[in-house]
Amino acid sequence: MITAQSIRTSELDRTPDFVELISSARDAGHEVMLIERPMPDAVSVAAIGRAFDIVAAPGGVSLEDAQGRQVDFEPGDNRILAASRLWRRLAPALGGAAEVVATGPIAIGGFAYHPDREPTGPWSGFPSLLLRVPALAVTRVRGRTYASAAGPDDMALLELPPAPMRAPSAHKLDVTPARNPLAWTAAVENAAARLRAGEAEKVVLAREVLARGDGVVSAGMVVRGLRAAYPSCFTYLVAGADGTAFAGASPELLIRRSGNRAFSQPMAGSVARGATDVEDERLALHLMESIKDASEHRLVSTFVVEALRPFAEHVDAPAPEVVRFTNIQHLATSVRAILNDPPADALELAAALHPTPATGGWPRATADRLIDELEAMDRGWYAGSVGWIDARGDGEFAVALRCGLLWEDGARLYAGVGVMPDSDPAMELEETELKFKALMTALI
């Protein structure tokens, strides 16, 4: 039986600096998370401390209290679906739905690319799924700020002293590929040849680079830099149990659920930004006319539409468009669905979609086998998902891209590309370098 105090929500008359808030809390020894949705319908959630964790466990997911004691368990091979069922039991015990989205009882966190596998190596601080009910959640929704506290003393977390002065920040980086680029391009050529032979239609292969600084790489400063440099991306930070932090600026929304409506924006097919407006348009036109990119994108958008159909009365997917970010352009399709009654919650929808062919490939099982054989790294939470769900089942999850696993003086950075039968390995390598820049500039 789950017993918990009701979560109390209050509107604040001031809006704290969210990055400063989590930086101070992290320096004070508290667990922290931050997820920010870009404008125009901006939603930011900063989470401090822990009231409960829904966390991956053998055979399903476990509900643990603030002391790490198991108080409930939900079995299931699909841990995302198991987390959805467990959340539906927990949320009413926390006081039920609040009036404002993303306030009241809320679970924030995410899951690995493989939610059914425990990450290894550098990802030891991250379970394959973690959704946290924080001691204090501070939410900014369309310009208004709310605090939701799990305990009578948790509002005091708003008044933590500013983060102390640190050792000198890093000013330059020493960047080393975790795998020889020639070996990686050989893997891309191997994958493309196997696709031409009919083994699969698409596979996504990722790279990892190690970036070491000559000083401190502050997670808070990285997030602040990402927010400033990539204002139209989802910005996120999840602190690991081992002192690391997972941070990034993702352009891609896996799913957003609001009442009986769902929205997804899959992206596949990329090109650089131009130095001028004219060059921008020329590159965008080239992207729209590219047979390789069109085929790759069609796989992804069709998958998303078909994955949402069982949950929806109607699904609409217009023709793809080019969306522009600071240093890259993508083909994107805005998929909208009117959900059946009662509507599936955000986690159920995420379970149906993850991983899309944009991050794995197609067919899914074959693509995952090729990734295991050719990628030569543990993805951990890279290409997984980060987000939140509230007591109504509303929520949103972004694909965990343009990201890095940070430690005190460096990071492991991740970027991937969609390999098609006609992929050029040299061009795919160049695309990963372009994506690495999204985080590299924020490290120093």
Rg of the chain, C-alpha, whole Å = 21
Model confidence, pTM: 0.94
Q: Report the distance separating Cα 18 and Cα 107, nearest Å.
A: 18
Catalytic site residue from 202, 348, 375, 431: 202
**pLDDT at residue 166, rounded to an integer:** 64
What is the residue type of 145?
Answer: T
Residues 6 or more apart whose CB falls under 8 angstroms from that of 132 comprise: 31, 33, 47, 50, 52, 53, 54, 107, 108, 109
Structure tokens at 359: 């991050």
Q: How many residues does the chain have?
A: 444
Question: What is the three-class DSSP state of 285?
Answer: helix
Domains of the chain: 8-158 (no CATH), 173-221+251-443 (3.60.120.10)
Whether 300 contacts 268, CB under 8 Å: yes
Q: Report the distance separating Cα 145 and Cα 216, nearest Å.
A: 31
Catalytic site residue from 36, 64, 118, 252: 252
Active site residue 202: yes
Active site residue 435: no
Nearest alpha carbon to residue 63 among 79, 47, 42, 77? 79
Q: Report the distance separating Cα 358 and Cα 159, nearest Å.
A: 42
Q: Report the distance separating Cα 291 and Cα 109, nearest Å.
A: 37
pLDDT by 10s per residue, the chain, length 444: 566 678 899 999 988 999 999 999 998 999 999 999 877 778 999 999 999 999 999 999 999 999 999 999 999 999 999 999 999 999 999 987 888 999 999 999 999 999 999 999 999 999 999 999 999 999 999 889 999 999 889 999 998 887 665 667 767 888 899 999 999 999 999 999 999 999 999 999 999 999 988 778 888 888 998 988 888 899 999 999 999 999 999 999 999 999 999 999 999 888 888 888 899 899 989 899 888 888 889 999 999 999 999 999 999 999 999 988 888 888 999 999 999 999 999 999 999 999 999 999 999 999 999 999 999 999 999 999 999 999 999 999 999 999 999 988 889 999 999 999 999 999 999 989 888 876 788 777
Burial class (CB in 10 A: 0-12, 13-18, 19+), 83: buried
